[in-house]
Copies of this chain bind each other. A is one copy, B any other.
Amino acid sequence: MTIDDLRQEIDRLDSALLHIFNVRASLALQIGEVKKKLALPVYDPAREKRIFARMKELNTGPLDDQAIVRLFERVIDESRRLERIMTTRDGKEKGEGTACSSS
């Protein structure tokens, strides 16, 4: 395979990643909504640990487990950041104070 062939294949995978990142973030937002209704805490460190443990368990490489954890840390972090942005925006639209509204 030439460099161009390999890059085309990477571009295809990147499009799939982009799609999954966004669908995953939407699902995380939905979980945030349900938690809010049930008055559950948003941050759940035990759930994150289970995600990392499951990914390490399933990881076959070539990326090592530390790389996989760093990647999923970023994925989870971006969902959390989005949730903060949305909460702040919703709060402002509704004229409510929120935990994030001072930032």
> How many monomers of this protein are in the complex?
2
Alpha-carbon gap, A47 to B6, bound state (A): 13
Contact partner, A24, options B2, B13, B60, B68, Cβ 8 Å: B13
A: contact size bracket: 35 or more
Q: Are A31 and B51 in contact (CB under 8 A)?
A: no
Alpha-carbon gap, A40 to B68, bound state (A): 28
Contact partner, A35, options B3, B30, B35, Cβ 8 Å: B3
- Give the residues in chain B near A61, CB-CB below 8 Å: 22
Given contacts A6-B30, A20-B13, contact A25 B63 (CB under 8 A): yes
Q: Which 5 A-B pairs have the closest CB atoms?
A: A74-B74, A67-B78, A13-B24, A6-B31, A25-B63
Using a CB–CB cutoff of 8 Å, the interface residues on chain A facing chain B are 1-3, 6-7, 9-11, 13-18, 20-31, 34-35, 47, 51, 54-55, 58-64, 67-68, 70-72, 74-75, 78, 81-82, 85-86
